[in-house]
Amino acid sequence: MKVLVTGFEPFGGVEGNPSEDVLPLLPDALGPIQIVKQVLPVAFVDSGWQIAAALTEERPDLVLCLGLKSGAMALELERIAINLDDAYMPDNAGDQPRERPILPHGPDGIFSPLPLKRMQRAIQSTGVPAQLSNSAGTYVCNHVFYVALATARELSPPPPVGFIHLPLTPQLALSRYDRPSMTLEDMRRGLVAALATAIDAL
């Protein structure tokens, strides 16, 4: 079995991105389950085709995408991706879509099939704060989440897909006017618990 975990490069003038920085800290396997890691660009078009290609080529049994949410106080497990790109600032390629559907004929929203409440409890049992979120936004994180969910539906069997937003690290938080933060070690511990719970549900 195989799990695909993705993160993002830095964006928006922030010098790092914990969703990228935490990837090397995650294990390469959980028991017999291989963990494949990939960093995606913060660009609507490129991130979309790259996550779709990764699902098609890797054929993972589970997909967990990670992203940064400045201001988050916990690991935020996203329930739904919506079919909308509406950027508050340009992406790293200079693209700033306004009220643009991700897939013109796709559903308005797609829910994650992962056992999110169980994953939340598993994270909390490690001492790491976690909460459910009903909006992944309308920026590149939501774009990747939606494309991954839509692509998974075309595969047989369709792998379950989830998305977790991460807080800033303490170092990055200081550069962003003392916003909430979490250490990479806490993120790693919480993510391993979430992954183990998701794998157990397969």
Q: What is the pLDDT of residues 121-137, one digit of tens each?
A: 999 999 999 999 999 99
What pLDDT, on a 0 to 100 scale, did the predictor assign at position 179? 84
pTM over 0.95: yes
160-163-83 Cα angle (round to 5): 85
Q: Are 87 and 143 in contact (CB under 8 A)?
A: no
Q: Are 54 and 62 in contact (CB under 8 A)?
A: no
Tokens (6 digits) for 133: 């979120």
Q: Are 20 and 8 in contact (CB under 8 A)?
A: yes
Active-site annotation holds for 65: no
Q: Are 133 and 78 in contact (CB under 8 A)?
A: yes
What pLDDT, on a 0 to 100 scale, did the predictor assign at position 115? 98
Catalytic residue among 20, 76, 78, 143: 78
Catalytic residue among 141, 143, 154, 185: 141
Active-site annotation holds for 141: yes
Residue listed under structure tokens 């990479």 = 184
Q: Are 52 and 151 in contact (CB under 8 A)?
A: yes
Q: Report how far residue 54's alpha carbon sits from residue 196's, in angstroms, rounded to the nearest whole number.
A: 21
What pLDDT, on a 0 to 100 scale, did the predictor assign at position 177? 64
Q: Report how far residue 118's alpha carbon sits from residue 61's, in angstroms, rounded to the nearest whole number.
A: 18
Distances (CA, A) of 167 to 19, 53, 74, 75, 200: 9, 27, 6, 7, 26
Catalytic residue among 20, 65, 143, 165: 165
Active-site annotation holds for 105: no
Distances (CA, A) of 57 to 4, 21, 53, 75: 11, 24, 6, 28
CA 31 to chain centre: 23
Parse the chain into domains and list their residue ranges: 2-200
- pLDDT, tens only, 52-67: 999 999 999 999 999 9
The CATH number of 2-200 is 3.40.630.20
Q: Does residue 178 have a pLDDT over 80?
A: no
- pLDDT, tens only, 76-120: 999 999 999 999 999 999 999 999 999 999 999 999 999 999 999
